[in-house]
Amino acid sequence: MRDCKNKIMTQILYQPRTFGELVNSTTCASETIDKYVKELEDAGKISHKKSKFKIFFKKGLELEKIEFFELMLNQTTKSVILLLLKTSKISQLELSEILNKSHPTISRTMQLLVKANIINAYYLAPGVKYSLKNKPQIISWMTSTHPKIIDKMSDGIVEMFSQ
SS3 at position 55: strand
Report the alpha-carbon distance of residue 141 to residue 163 in Å, rounded: 19
Report the alpha-carbon distance of residue 110 to residue 21 in Å, rounded: 26
Q: Give 163's pLDDT tier (boundaries 50, 70, 90).
A: very low
| Percent of residues, the chain, with pLDDT higher than 90 | 80
Which strand ranges, in their side-by-side order, compose the sheet holding 127-132? Answer: 90-91, 127-132, 119-124
Task: Determine the pLDDT at residue 155.
Answer: 57
Task: Determine the pLDDT at residue 156.
Answer: 53
Strand pairing of 17-18 and 90-91?
unpaired
The pTM score is: 0.84
Task: Determine the pLDDT at residue 76.
Answer: 95
What residues contact residue 140 under an 8 Å CB cut-off, 6+ apart?
none
Task: Determine the pLDDT at residue 159.
Answer: 47
Taking the C-alpha atoms of 117, 112, 90 and 148 in order, what is their torsion angle to the nearest 10 degrees?
80
Q: What is the pLDDT of residues 32-86, one digit of tens each?
A: 999 999 999 999 999 999 888 899 999 999 999 999 999 999 999 999 999 999 9
